[in-house]
Structures are given as structure tokens and as C-alpha cells.
Structure 1
């Protein structure tokens, strides 16, 4: 009650994570809110709301208030953020926390202001915004304040953030609104076109997790999972078995956009920093880093070793919280006054 819970937040399109100083990750739930559309009442947030997707009566809607890493529905995002901040503080605290929120590189003034205002209204004493690649690098324990090059590729739910970092700042970067959600959509589209069967987004996400892969390998080809969808011809349920090889082909166009953006970022990087990156490797984080074969594909296409960060799903939240102790970086962050 008498403690201030300063925190870092990864306000992601797919999931929201909250890191509290000296406690670690205390919230890790889907960025989903279930509301009664007739009364605008918030019914469920997080895991309970996600479990309702596609299974609710007409008057209840499960909403993802963030799109491509930024707020798409302010009121619903505010309700969600308030809920998660309250959860992180164990209900109530007399002291309003300092909050650092990870945001995509290059978001607009309007998008930045929306996050700052939502954080303030949700109960924060002061809100700071940190670019997600910087938060990822700090969370991955890279020496971002040294005069050496570090490269991160953070494949999230709504965006992929790619950056080269040196002396506590981003040197070159690319942010594309192509990431986990587009991979799910590619699976949905593939099943629809090839099998004439419609599956939902939760099923597509499960397929991605269970057999998703991006580099040719016999072991990956033999992976399989079953799904049930609606047959477009009969309108009746139909069960399918999907194989790893076909899912790799379905994901390829999306994944190659990420690879091309990684190569483009390297091409813009000063030679001395490229030499550092060649020696240290490219650090991959976010949910997309768990795709089978992603580091092998990056290595093949760039010629540089790629490594998955420790606890890649939590890097942004951890880095956002850890930056509170890095005064030189914190002083440069955008904040509400």
C-alpha cells in the first residue's frame, strides 16, 4: 500500500506484459477486452476476454484495442491499461507509479499523445515512451550505452521493429506493420484458398505455434496438426490435417518482408557498426523469434549469426522497466509533463 510500483509496460497488439522493478514480470495477458456493446460496460480483460473470442452472443464483443502497436480504440485501451496497472500494484497503492511504455519506432505525434494520455488517466504519475528496439536491447542485456553496434529484430504481434543501437541511441531502424498477426492471417488465407475451409484467428495462431516454420527441414516437413473449420461448399464443420511444409510456404511471403527489412537496415548502417554486428550477431526477440528456423533463415540471408534473446517474449517489458535505472537514456525519452 505504501510502496510505489514503478513499471515497464509492453503494450502489445497481441499481449500486454508488465514488469515491476525488483519483482519481474507480474502481468502477461492478451491485449483483449470483452465489452457489452449495448451498455459499453467492460466485462472481462486479458485471458478471460480472449477465451470469449468467436464464442459470444451478439451483444458482447471481444475487442483488441491496439492495432499495429498503437491505440486504435482509446476508451477500451484506457480500460485495459487501468486494469493491468491496478493488477501490477496488487490492487491499490497510495503512490502513483512511474511508467515506461514500449512503442513502435516512428509512431506519429497523435499516436504518442494517445498513449501518454491513456497512461496518465490509468493512474501513472509520469509516463515515458521508449522505442521498442531500445527496450528489447536493454531487456536482452546488451550494452546499449557503449560505442559499439548492437542489432535487434523484434517480431511482435502487430509490428516488426529492426534497429541498430550504439551509445544509447538508435542509429538506423526500420519499423514495418508486418508481424505475428499477418502470419496468422496468411494461415487463414491459405486454408481458405487451398481447402475451401474457414478457420478462426485463434485456430490459426495455434497452427503457427504448433507447426509454424520458415526454413526447409525434413523435421519441420513432418510436423502436423489438425484443425476444424467451416466448409465453404456445405457450410458444415470439416476437419483437416495440416503439414509443416505447406504452412512454411503459406508464411514465406510475410517472413521475406521481415528478412528484406532486416537487410535494408543493415545496408543503411555505418561500416564500423556492421563490423561489430558481424562479430556479436543479430539478436531476435518477440513472439516471432520462436518460429522454427527463423534464426537459420536470417543467417542464410544476411551472412550474420542470429541469436534468440533469453526470454524473448518479455524483452520489451523488462527493458522498459530496467531503463528507469539508466538516467542518460531516460532523460531523452518522450514523456508527459
Structure 2
């Protein structure tokens, strides 16, 4: 039976909506195009195409930063538009909503997320921790008395967590993920090639030739931008090795965070993790060599989840199917 219970992966880069009984019904970039007066001109893919390409009277914004809401009013408008697109908004369509958040989210940020979702017409709102939902979506049985570890590299945050019996035993969240990767590539091009490029170009470089482990890609790409000195358009050739250099500092932070979580894990659960390996989810899992880098640095096998970008959304689906059994009362975690 199709119900109006929905799960929302409220990501810095993308919003995914899962409807109970139907599956993933929406996957759109978390971008909104606004006029000078604040009127919403476009949302999602249409707005993403405008990033870096709009005239002065139009601005394309990302209302979510570092895994939390940076602009509540714009986030509300974006979610309302997405819910309308999938037919889940209206007086007689008040869904129960499960929304995912980073592990380090504060009570104030939780309250802000809940109130923003409620204003879009939700009847009830639950908040669950993102790596837990990602683990469930990737098929891990985290409700057994054994250790499972997940590294979820999203757009705004990287969440690392160890689970046993359905709860988090040790966890950490840092604001180093896809957006910081893009910023690092932009900074490298400025420093090394004196070339200015936008966020979309940096993301394209990361996706098409990016690597974080030596020799896994060995590709190159022509990159167009504006020269910092002459101010004129210029084209340079960028290699995978250069991208690896650009991303080194960011990936070292992720490795250090994962290592700190492992160091805080009880010995028995750590032994389980050595046997089972670490599961890698989120869009960052798709950067070439990320699994090999983490495995080499942490001395533990690392596996990439099937379709890692939708693991959180699929996890909300599993939880929604068991809503009454697994959900805490409203206001709880």
C-alpha cells in the first residue's frame, strides 16, 4: 500500500526523497535561483544549471552548508517545491517525515530542521543520524551485537560511525567532504596555474579525472577559466595526479577522523570491524582510489556500497517500512 510517509536525505549537494511504497521519487541538486527581491525563479536541476552563469539580478544559492541549514527561508521554499513536484504537499497530504542529519548536529540545529520541515506541511518529523541510515540503506544489519563501521562522505560533511545493537558506539563528523574537495581544486588551480574557475568546473574535474590514490586513474582534462593576471580566458591541461595533490590535505583529515573513531572503539567491536571491513557511502566514495587510500591508512578492508549516493535515501525507506517498531517519539533521537 502506498502511504504518505516519506524519508528525506537533506544533503548539502542533493536532496533525495523516498516515499514509502514507491521508493526514491526525487533526486535533485540542493540549489535555488533567486531574484533580487527574493522570488524563487528555479529549484533543483534548473537552478544548478545557473550556478556561475547568472546575471547580476539573479543569484543561484545553496541553502544548506556543511550538512545543516544555512538559510531557513530558502530551504523551506526549496523543500515545498520538491514536495509539490512529487505530489506530497497540500492540505490533505500531510506526510510523516524521517529526515537525516550529521552525527554532530546540535539540539538547536535539530529544532531548526524540524520546524523547517513542519512548515512545509509535515504531520510528524523524526530526525535520524545519517551514517546509521546509510548503513541500513547499504544492507548492514546494525541491530546485532557486533561491530559495523561506516564512513559516509557527502557534500558538506564526512560522518564516521561504529554501530552495535542499533546504536552508535563511537562517531565523529567533520565539515570536509565534496564541497571542500571542489574548493581545494579551485585553490590549486589559482596557486599553480593562476586560473580562476567556478564550482561547477571544479566538480567536473573531480568527477571526470579525480583520484586520491596514486595511479588509479592517470587521466587528463582540458580546463577553461580566466587567467588571474591577464583577465583573459585561458585553457590548461590538468592531470589526475594534480587533483590528488589538490585533495591531499582534505583526504588526510578524513583519514585522521576515521582513525580517531577506531581508536575509541572497544576492542571486541574493533575485531569485528577488521573481519567485516569498513563500508564507504556517499558521493565521495566514488572518487577513484578513496577505498584503497582508506584501507591502506587504516589497515582495515574498505568496501564501497552499491550505489553509495542513494544509501541514505534507501535507508530511510527501510526505516519507514518499520516505522512503528523503530521510530522514537517525536522530539527524541
Q: TM-score, normalised by structure 1?
A: 0.95
CA distance in 2, matches of 1:95, 1:122: 11
Q: Which residue of 2 aligns with 1:210?
A: 208
Match of residue 195, structure 1, among 179, 193, 196: 193
Match of residue 284, structure 1, among 280, 284, 288: 280
Residue 157 of structure 1 aligns to a residue whose secondary structure is: coil
Range moving further from structure 2, 44-53 or 326-335: 326-335
Residue 51 of structure 2 aligns to a residue whose secondary structure is: coil
Q: Does 1:313 align with 2:312?
A: no
Q: Is the 8 A contact 1:5 1:89 kept in 2?
A: no
CA distance in 2, matches of 1:176, 1:166: 22
Unaligned runs of 5+ in 2: none
Q: Is the 8 A contact 1:33 1:64 kept in 2?
A: yes
Match of residue 45, structure 1, among 43, 46, 49: 43
Once the two structures are TM-superposed, the CA of residue 298 in structure 1 deviates from its matched residue by: 1.0
Q: Which residue of 2 aligns with 1:158?
A: 156
Deviations, residues 110-130 of structure 1 (Å, cap 9, x unaligned) = 211111011111111111100
Runs of 4+ with deviation above 3 angstroms: 90-93, 326-329, 332-336
Q: Which residue of 2 aligns with 1:329?
A: 326
Deviations, residues 70-124 of structure 1 (Å, cap 9, x unaligned) = 0110100000111122223366572311110110112112211111011111111
Q: Which residue of 1 aligns with 2:183?
A: 185
Q: Which residue of 2 aligns with 1:266?
A: 262
CA distance in 2, matches of 1:164, 1:327: 25
Once the two structures are TM-superposed, the CA of residue 311 in structure 1 deviates from its matched residue by: 1.1
Q: Which residue of 2 aligns with 1:107?
A: 105
Once the two structures are TM-superposed, the CA of residue 328 in structure 1 deviates from its matched residue by: 4.6
Q: Which residue of 1 aligns with 2:58?
A: 60
CA distance in 1, matches of 2:208, 2:72: 33
Q: Is the 8 A contact 2:6 2:97 kept in 1?
A: yes
Cα pair distance change 1:95/1:335, threshold 3 Å: farther
Unaligned runs of 5+ in 1: none
Range moving further from structure 2, 229-238 or 51-60: 51-60
Q: Which residue of 2 aligns with 1:251?
A: 247
CA distance in 2, matches of 1:40, 1:232: 32
Range moving further from structure 2, 264-273 or 311-320: 311-320
CA distance in 1, matches of 2:48, 2:293: 32
Q: Which residue of 2 aligns with 1:229?
A: 225
Q: Is the 8 A contact 1:20 1:321 kept in 2?
A: yes
Q: Which residue of 2 aligns with 1:81?
A: 79
Q: TM-score, normalised by structure 2?
A: 0.96
Q: Is the 8 A contact 1:10 1:317 kept in 2?
A: yes
Q: Which residue of 2 aligns with 1:15?
A: 14
Deviations, residues 217-260 of structure 1 (Å, cap 9, x unaligned) = 1x52x301111000011100001110011111111110010011
Range moving further from structure 2, 187-196 or 92-101: 92-101
Q: Is the 8 A contact 2:89 2:121 kept in 1?
A: no
Cα pair distance change 1:228/1:64, threshold 3 Å: same
Q: Which residue of 2 aligns with 1:143?
A: 141
Q: Which residue of 2 aligns with 1:238?
A: 234
CA distance in 1, matches of 2:323, 2:307: 21
CA distance in 2, matches of 1:211, 1:93: 47
Q: Which residue of 1 aligns with 2:35?
A: 36
Deviations, residues 149-194 of structure 1 (Å, cap 9, x unaligned) = 1100000000000000111111100000111101000100000000
CA distance in 1, matches of 2:91, 2:238: 49
